[in-house]
Amino acid sequence: MRPERFGLLALLVVTMVWGTTFPAMKLLSVQLDALQIIWLRFAIALLVLGPLWWGMRRGERLWGCALGLLLFLAFWLQIEGLARTSSNRNAFVTGLNVLVVPLIAMLALGRRYGWRLWAACALACAGMALMFHENEPWNLGDTLTLASTVFYAIYILALEECTRRNQAAPLRATRMAAAQAAMMCLASTLLLLTRDSGMSWMQSMGALGSPAWAALLYLGLLASVVVVTLQAWGQQRVDAMRSAIIFGLEPVFAALTAWFLLGESLGWAGLTGASLVIAALVFSQVQPAAGVGASD
C-alpha cells in the first residue's frame, strides 16, 4: 500500500497545482492566445528538461511524444475555452474528466459499469445546471473546454496503458516529462508558424508586465516541469479510476484560487451546483464491496 499512498499524494499535489493554474492562464489569455501560452510555457519547461533527452530509452521517447500530443490537444482546447468563459466554469467542466474517463473506458476498452455511473452523470448535470443558472448560458468556451476534457481523459487512460505495457521495465517519469514537453513545444511551434507565417508575435513579449511573466514562470516550471513529472510518476502507482477521484478535486482548488486572486464568486446556486458536481465526481468512482473493480 505504501507505493500507492505515495502515488495518491503525488496526484493530490498535481491537482492542487492544476487548480491554481486557471487564474494564471486567464491573466495571460488577455495578452496571448492559446498557442502562444502553450509555446512559452513548454519552452520554459524544455529549457529545464531538455538535457534529459540524453540517455532516454526508445520506449520513453515514443510513449512520451504520443502522450505529449494528447496533452497538447487538451491544453490547446482548454485555454481556447478559458479565453471565452470564466475560470470557475472552465475548471468545473474540466473536472468532468472523472466522468468521461470511465465512459471512454467502457466504450473503447469494453469495461462495464452499473447504475452508479449513470446516477453520477445525472447528479453532475443537475449541478452544472445550477452553476450556469446564475451566469450566462452554455457557450463556445464551455464546448471547447468539454472537448479538452475528452482528450485529457484519453491522456489519463493512455498513461495507465503505458504503465501496464512497461511493467517489466518501468519508464522513468522525468524522461517521459521531457519527451512530452518537447512534443508540446514542437506542436505549438508548427501551428504558430503555419498560422502566423513566422514568430513575429514574439516581439510583443516585451510588453508583458511582471504579473504575466510571473504567471508564465509558474506555469512553465511548477505547473509543467513538476506536475507533468509527478503525474507520470503517480499514475505508475495508481490506476486511472482512482486517479480520477483525486483529479475531481481540481475545481475546488480552482474556485478557491479564482475567489482569492480574481474575485470571482459562484453565489449560493453556484456553490450548491459545485457541491453536486464534486459529489458526482467522487460517487462515480465509488464501487460497492462486491462490485466490478472492487479488487482494483
Whole-structure pTM value: 0.82
User: CA 73, CA 80: separation in Å to the nearest integer?
Assistant: 11
- The C-alpha cell of 127 is what? 449541478
Residue type for position 139: N
According to the model, what pLDDT value does residue 262 have?
67
pLDDT tens digit string along 154-197? 999 999 999 989 988 889 999 999 999 999 999 999 988 888 66
According to the model, what pLDDT value does residue 46 have?
94
- Using the structure block, give the residue that is written with the C-alpha cell 522525468: 174
Whether residue 174 contacts residue 55, with contact meaning beta carbons closer than 8 Å, is answered with: no
- DSSP conformational letter for 137: P
How long a stretch of residues is the chain?
A: 296
**Domain segments of the chain as ranges:** 2-283
Residues of the chain with pLDDT under 70: 1-2, 88, 113, 131-135, 196-198, 262, 266, 281, 284-296
DSSP secondary structure string for all residues of the chain: -HHHHHHHHHHHHHHHHHHHHHHHHHHHTTTS-HHHHHHHHHHHHHHHHGGGGTT--HHHHHHHHHHHHHHHHHHHHHHHHHTTS-HHHHHHHHHTHHHHHHHHHHHHH-----HHHHHHHHHHHHHHHHHHHTSPPS-HHHHHHHHHHHHHHHHHHHHHHHHHHTSSSPPPHHHHHHHHHHHHHHHHHHHHHHHHSSSGGGGGGGG--HHHHHHHHIIIIIIIIIHHHHHHHHTTTS-HHHHHHHHTTHHHHHHHHHHHHT----HHHHHHHHHHHHHHHHHTTPPPTTSTTTT-
User: CA 156, CA 161: separation in Å to the nearest integer?
Assistant: 9
How crowded is the C-beta side of 195, counted as CA atoms within 13 Å? 11
